Structure 1
Amino acid sequence: MKLAFDAIGKLPDWAQKTLVLLPAVPLLLPSDLTAPLWLGGTALILWLSRSAREAVFSMVYRNIWVTLAIGLLVGSFVGLALNPLMDGFAEAITGTTIDLSQFADVEGNDGAFIELLIVAMLFGGVVEEIAFRGFFVGWGTRLFGMKAAVPLILLSSVAFGVGHLYQDLAGGVSTGIFALMMGALYIAFDRKLLPVILIHAVSNFWGVLEIYRYGV
């Protein structure tokens, strides 16, 4: 099929509005099928909807150099300064500690470091931003209008946080706050996806590097 394929575009408006929210359901109701339902559903809808693809893959803010600078500078600030503050705040208000024990073998291990770095930057930076900011917020605001930006950011942030509850309650809260921030940045950058992809990827780079150097 050509990329111009647009079966969903022929559906009534209410059906398309339902579809943009549908992948959030498995995220809010976690199970063993969460990942395939969420990612598979998002990918299928993107394939079938030209409107969704146009909204999600609107990439560059102003020009590529501005976009790259935003990604590097803001991503480094988030990773080095804001993330530790958000983690500390989440731990203080929940009374729990963020659990990163599943990454314990990364400390001082070059191979595990590279493997986690690839996952964190490609899945975290690219896939999560496509699915959460581009799909939910980008396509969502195209269908519902900009008045829906805040509710869509809140919904996607709750889903993002729930998806990270494997890091304990503090981990879910911290990543939920991170998602709120990324949603606000996505809107601030005129719903262009590449800046937030780069911010997320660079932020994750610093987080993984810290685990490699100092452990969990």
Structure 2
Amino acid sequence: MKNQLTQTAPNYKNFLFDLLIYFSVMFLIREIYIEKLGFIVNGLFWSLSTLAIAMWRMKVRNVSWYDLGLKKPKSLKKTIFITAGILIAVVGSMIAFELFKDALPFSIPEKNYGESSASKFGEFKGNWILFFTIMPGVLLESTLEELLDRGFLIHWFEKVFSKTNIATFLAVILQALIFGFRHTYDLSDRSIRVGLIGFIMGIAYVKFGRNLWPLIIAHCLLNSMSMLDRV
């Protein structure tokens, strides 16, 4: 009986191996950047490549997207409530960070968002044609980030730390740190802000039934508002 349980129990080393492959592709693929395609298309290429790796390892481990939370919500009212709660929590965390960041025991470099926006999206200010052209890509990227950063990573990190009593806590923290770092490759106000958003999304995911739809909707709304602010 003991041997049978040993054979059927998930081996954390297998999931750690999956993550090594996943992160290797996720970071290395970003070394490929085709200027003529623009930031959105390159970003989708990076995310879709990473998605392909995630789906490969999911198939190997017999895990489906349904298992990770890509399923019909049980209640539309609850979905709206959770989505609104996520948005309120994100806004609150951004305000709190702005109020207390100067009290942190380390300095946080700030980035010029105007210049970064121009370099990523071209002449974006006042260009509504460009806005509506790239928004489908922005919304798709938002969806992919929730599938990968919350659905895939939290599940895989939990498996890696399954022998501990804090597997879920570690999973939420680690995916948030990676989410923030991946957007800037440094420690800056933007990486911390994005990390905080990832942390809130992770908490919402594990606390409210592990359904990805409220997170996807909230993420799409946040990015839509961010893009509107740049027009």
TM-score w.r.t. the length of structure 1 is: 0.73
Q: Which moved more, 1:172-181 or 1:36-45?
A: 36-45
Q: Provide the residue aligned with 2:197 in structure 1.
A: 178
Distance 1:14 1:52 in 2: 18
- The one of 125, 130, 137 equivalent to 1:107 is 125
Matches within 5 A, 1:199-210: 199-210=218-229
Shift in Å at residue 202 of structure 1?
Answer: 1.1
**1:97 is aligned to 2:114:** no
Shift in Å at residue 32 of structure 1?
Answer: 1.1
User: Given that residues 150 and 205 in structure 2 are in contact (C-alpha distance below 8 angstroms), is that contact kept between their aligned partners in structure 1?
Assistant: yes
Amino acid at match of 1:102: S
Give identity over the alignment, percent. 19
User: What are the ranges of 5 or more consecutive residues in structure 1 without an aligned counterpart?
Assistant: 1-9
**1:134 is aligned to 2:158:** no
User: Given that residues 55 and 142 in structure 1 are in contact (C-alpha distance below 8 angstroms), is that contact kept between their aligned partners in structure 2?
Assistant: no
Matches within 5 A, 1:51-62: 51-62=63-74
Shift in Å at residue 160 of structure 1?
Answer: 0.8
Distance 1:203 1:173 in 2: 16
- The one of 115, 137, 140 equivalent to 1:119 is 137
Q: CA RMSD in A?
A: 3.4
Shift in Å at residue 53 of structure 1?
Answer: 3.0
CA distance 1:13–1:173, shift in 2 (3 Å):
same
User: Given that residues 129 and 196 in structure 1 are in contact (C-alpha distance below 8 angstroms), is that contact kept between their aligned partners in structure 2?
Assistant: yes
**Moved runs in structure 1, 4+ residues, more than 4 A?**
25-31, 89-93, 142-146
User: What are the ranges of 5 or more consecutive residues in structure 2 without an aligned counterpart?
Assistant: 1-7, 33-42
Shift in Å at residue 190 of structure 1?
Answer: 1.5
Shift in Å at residue 139 of structure 1?
Answer: 4.9
Q: Provide the residue aligned with 1:17 in structure 2.
A: 15
User: Given that residues 182 and 196 in structure 1 are in contact (C-alpha distance below 8 angstroms), is that contact kept between their aligned partners in structure 2?
Assistant: yes
May I ask how many residue pairs the two structures share in their alignment?
Answer: 200
Distance 2:12 2:196 in 1: 30
Shift in Å at residue 186 of structure 1?
Answer: 0.7
User: Given that residues 164 and 175 in structure 1 are in contact (C-alpha distance below 8 angstroms), is that contact kept between their aligned partners in structure 2?
Assistant: yes
| 1:103-124 C-alpha deviation (Å, 9 max, x unpaired) | 2332211122224432332202
